[in-house]
Every structure is written in C-alpha cells, then in structure tokens.
Amino acid sequence: MIVVLDGARLTCEQVHRAAHGSGILMGSTQHAELAWRTAGSLTGPVYGQTTGVGANKDVPVEASGLDLLRSHAGGAGPLIEESRARATLVVRLNQLLTGGSGLDPALLPALASAVNRGLTPPIRTYGAIGTGDLTALATTALCLLGELPWTPASGEGHARSADATPRLPSDSGDVPRFALASGDALPFISSGAATLADAALACHRLRLLLTAATAVAAHSFRAVDASLEPLAQAVQRRPNQAAVAAGLRALVGATSPRHIQDPYGYRAFPQVHGAVLDALDYAEQAVTEDLNTAPENPLIADGRAWHNGNFHSARVALALDALRAALVQTATLSATRLTTLTDPAHTGLLPFLAERPGLSGVMILEYVAHSALAALRQLAVPVTLGTGVLSLGTEDHASFTPQAARSTLAATEPFEIILACELVAAVRALRQRGLPCDIPLDPAMADRPLDGDIDAARGLLPGLALHRPPRPRVEAVEITAGSADRTARAELRGLDDTAAAGVAVGRGHDHTDGGADDAVDVPVDRGEPGGEQTRHGMVVVAHHGHVGGDPEALLVRRRVHPVGDRVAEAEEGPVPVAEHPAGDLRGGRQRLGSGDHLDVQPQPPALGEDVHVRGPVGSAGHGRGE
C-alpha cells in the first residue's frame, strides 16, 4: 500500500510500512516552495548560511555549506539496518514538506526517488546526541551530491557491514542526484529524522506486541483457571486498564476459578498493562507530532528566519524512557505467569509441564525468559539522566534521544522472547488439560530443544495482536415509563465495559455505570402521554469511542417497526458504517423493542465494513410516556 507524504499526517504505522518496502507518494511541495522563496529574499546574518555553526555562530563565512556536510558526515560504528535508513529518508522528506527549511524544493523528488528505488545512505550507528542527527543526514546529503555511494536494497533486515555492503557507483546514471547549494546544507541536516525513524518503528512494534500480550495472558488465564473477578473495572475509569480487562474477559470466556485469589501476574495484569499502554500512547503522540513538524534551525516562516531550539527532542526522549520502564513492568508479569504455568499448585499438572515425572519439560523457558528480562531491564536505564556540553560550551545540554530510541527499538526483541516463552508454556498446559487451543505450535510433549518452539511462538505474536474477540451480546430486556421530560428507561443486561462504556441515544447520550446490568435514558421521539411510544433509539459504542459524534463509533444499528398494537417486524442485516455521518448519531432515530438483541464489537470496524445484527426480536411492547 502506498504511503502518501504531505507533511501533516505521517503515522508510526506508515513509517513502518514505508521502511519495509511500501512505496511512497509525495504530496504538494507548495509549503517548501514558499519557504525557499522566503529564504532567498532574506538579508542580514542567518545562522549556518552566512555564519559558521556551533561555536562559530558569530564568524561570517561564505559558501561553507558543502564543507559543513563533509565535516559532519563522520559517524562511527556499524551501518544501521536498511529498513531504519529507509525510514530516515521517509521521515526527513515528510518534515521537509512542512515547509520550514527554506532549502530548494527540487531536492525533494530526489529523496522520494531514493526511497522508491530501495536506495539508502550508509548511515553509521554513532554520531548524534539528541540535538539533530547531523552525521546521518550529512551522509545522506553527500549521497545526493554524488560524493558517497548509495546502498541498494538487499532485502535483509539485520545490521550491515560497512566492508561487505555493495554500493552503487556515485557516477552511475541510475542513482538520485541533486546538487545542493551551500545554503541548503544546514537546513537539510537540521533534523532528528533518524532518531524519529527509530522511535516510530519501536512504537509500532510495541503496539503489536502489547496487544498480543493480552492474548498471551488470556491463554495463561485459561490454563490455570485464573479468576476473572479482578477484571471487573466498574470502579476504575482508566480507559486502557478497562480495555485490557475487557479484552481478557472476551478472550477467556467463562471459567471456574481454581483459587479465590491469584498471584499479581493475573490479578493486577489490567492495572499494569493498562499503564504500559498509557505510556505507549504518550510516546506515540510525541513521536507523531515530531514526524509532522518542521524542526529546522533557523526556521523559515512568516517572511523571516527564526533562530530557535525546536531541534531539541527532550520530550521524545523522556517519553521513550518512560515507555521502556513501563515495559519492564508488564514483561515481569509475563515471567511470573510463566512460573505459575510450571507449578502443579496452579495447573494441577506435573512440574514444568513434563511428559512424565522427573523430566524437565519446559523448565528451560524460565531461564530464557529471565535472561531476556535482564536484558530488558538493562535497556530500560533512562538515558535522560545524562547530558553533554559541546562546541566550546555553546551547546550545553543534550537529551540523548537517539540512544533512547535505539534502546526502545532494541527492547522489542527481549520483550517478544518473554511473551513467546509464556505462550509456549500456556499452550502446552492447555493441551495437557485437554482444553481447546488453536495455536499452531508443536504438540509433542517429550523433552527436546525448545528453541524452535520459541521462534515459532515469536512468529505468531503479530497474528494474535490482530485477533478480535467474539462479540458480546447486549440485550434490551425492558423499556419502562420515563419521566416528565419525555424519556423512557431502557434496562440493559449483559452490558459492561467489555462491550461499551457509553450509549448514544437519539439526540443525547447517557453513560453507563459499568455494571453488568445497567440502565440508560432513551429519548422519546414522538407519542402522546399515556400512549405507546413507537420510536426509541440506541447506539452502543466501544469504551474508547466518542459517544454521539464519531462515525467510526457506530457499531450497531437495528430498527423495529411497530405493526398494529402489539406486533413488530424487524429490519436486520448489514448496515455499512460509512453510510452514517457523524451527525446521524445525534439526529437519527432507531427503534428498539423489549427483548431485542444487539451484537457489539469491542473494537470499531473500518469505515465501509458491514456490521451484521443478529439475534431474535422480542416483544414489541415499548415504554409508555407519562
């Protein structure tokens, strides 16, 4: 799928797709062109164009831009993976489209061409501290100039060797070239694009893994008959915590708990995992904003050059540090659940899920998981505790965001391994207990090397993240007389935050209290006092939906038409969500009869996806107005 870059709407998921082979389509360059014309008309000193940089900020210079690129392209260490280098080009191109750099917009198609041809610059690992990815972008600029060779796509995801990596000759006619002017040099490298690329890739990967973690935990819940009572979230109003609890309830289904109270790995999972998702939400927001912001110093806007510190990425660094610290918390719970899966007191099976007494079974999984957990704890050390003073004291603070982004990206591997170990053990426990399990892992119980099982489980995690729980059913069991303000009362059963935290009704809405049985006010569209009301409306929305306003929050629509006094016929079937604009939630009307059943999706469908309504239609008796 093509990723469209317009300088305003790039997401972490799109960075991931573009980094792994999706083509890009460049949007309008009008903002970049306006900034370029403004830059060309400036008079007076402009940092980095008429002066030196860093401690040389007060030194007038002429045409030093190309020397700046050559001097700053001095990174060190191994080459970064081509997917990360490709993501760097995508992020920098999107930033340039916002129109703050003032460089020649004719350069932008050359960057887009490099991405679509699979060409990447030879970016080395070390050389940035959170005040701009100077070495990475100076290296990229020299590729555009033809002074360094581009690296063709190899299809490999691992780090590349500088000596073994094939290069395209810089004088080849089949490579993107652009003759940057001296004044284009600093504007091009004044960005943290490589850091943001790593951060975006990390956020996307963790979003998948953290979603999969709920599904993995659900298998452990079933394997040890953990109590679902702690998953009741009526008291807490923390959206991510409630979402985790709801997802678990939907995935686990009905259970008979083995113990009155389980270890924290089960009992406190929604609280811990929900907090991790909070941290991820904040980090992803910080990264996404910077993906679509002009970071250059000076910034060309409103007819002048603005000297600023927008290149400084402390906010992203702090968010990523917090995310890694949070990740350790839920990873630790995964390791503790793995321990319970090996314990007969929790499973009723042999120790370590062995095939027969005395064998080791899955004992080694605990060692692997805790080894990975130790690595994860090392990666969680906050990088923002340090700083640096550089360039003769002119640059007297550093956030070390590149290190935070690299650590967060690296943290995905040990976290994935920990989840995989838990999944292998949970699947074995379920099978030994004769419980249903459709995870395609090796069913053999004999002692054997488990590295293949771990690798297979790691490969299954993305699929688990995309799995949707079965739809819970919400039943309107009674509609009774309302108050003088012409409302009826709909008593609902089976409605809790698994299915919804809000109900949009008619032109208004009422929030549920989160209980298993609940009541909401239903406005009456027409009908005389004492007469039978014929039109009641209800739309049940997911707990994270926007009640009464978001077209994607419209999950269910059902109409019950009155026929005669006590007879109803139902219209049911697919209703495309895209047919219902936001205003329809507020102004539309639906009829709901006592006993009607509504199927509710925990997650909103995509626009245009058909939503099917199933279940019998009950009595046509509607509440009577007062």
Q: Output the domain CATH number for residue 41.
A: 1.10.275.10
DSSP states of 401-418: HHHHHHHHHHHHHHHHHH
User: 41 and 107 share a domain?
Assistant: yes
Q: What is the residue range of 605's domain?
A: 473-611
Residue 618 within a domain = no
User: 218 and 360 share a domain?
Assistant: yes
| E strand or H helix at 288 | helix 269-291
CB 615 within 8 A of CB 596: yes
pTM of the model: 0.75
User: 531 and 591 share a domain?
Assistant: yes
Return d(Cα 25, Cα 488) in angstroms, integer.
Answer: 53
Residue 230 within a domain = yes
User: 309 and 456 share a domain?
Assistant: yes
Residue 296 within a domain = no
User: 367 and 481 share a domain?
Assistant: no
The per-residue pLDDT for 618 is 28
Residue 621 within a domain = no
User: 449 and 487 share a domain?
Assistant: no
Residue 526 within a domain = yes
User: 461 and 485 share a domain?
Assistant: no
User: 179 and 209 share a domain?
Assistant: no
Tokens representing 457 are 């489980």
User: 481 and 408 share a domain?
Assistant: no
Question: Of 411, 445, 466, which residue constitutes the final position of a domain?
Answer: 466
Question: Of 466, 491, 520, which residue constitutes the final position of a domain?
Answer: 466
CB 419 within 8 A of CB 209: yes
Residue type, 521: D
| Residue 511 bridge partners (DSSP) | 502
Residue 620 within a domain = no
> What's the total number of domains in the chain?
3
To which residue do tokens 């960005």 refer? 191
**Mean pLDDT in order along the chain per 10 residues (626 residues):** 94 98 94 90 68 59 75 94 98 96 94 96 96 95 95 68 53 75 89 98 98 97 90 69 88 82 93 97 98 90 84 94 99 99 97 97 98 99 91 83 98 99 98 95 96 97 77 37 36 34 34 37 37 35 28 28 28 31 29 36 32 28 30
Please confirm whether the linkage preceding 298 is cis (ω < 30° from 0).
Answer: yes
User: 336 and 379 share a domain?
Assistant: yes
User: 543 and 426 share a domain?
Assistant: no
User: 268 and 384 share a domain?
Assistant: yes
Return d(Cα 181, Cα 583) in angstroms, integer.
Answer: 52
The per-residue pLDDT for 61 is 58
| Residue 502 bridge partners (DSSP) | 511, 541
Which of 401, 382, 365, 595 shows the shortest CA–CA distance to 479? 595
Return d(Cα 21, Cα 116) in angstroms, integer.
Answer: 8
Residue 298 within a domain = no
Question: Of 466, 495, 523, which residue constitutes the final position of a domain?
Answer: 466
Residue 297 within a domain = no
Tokens representing 88 are 């760097």
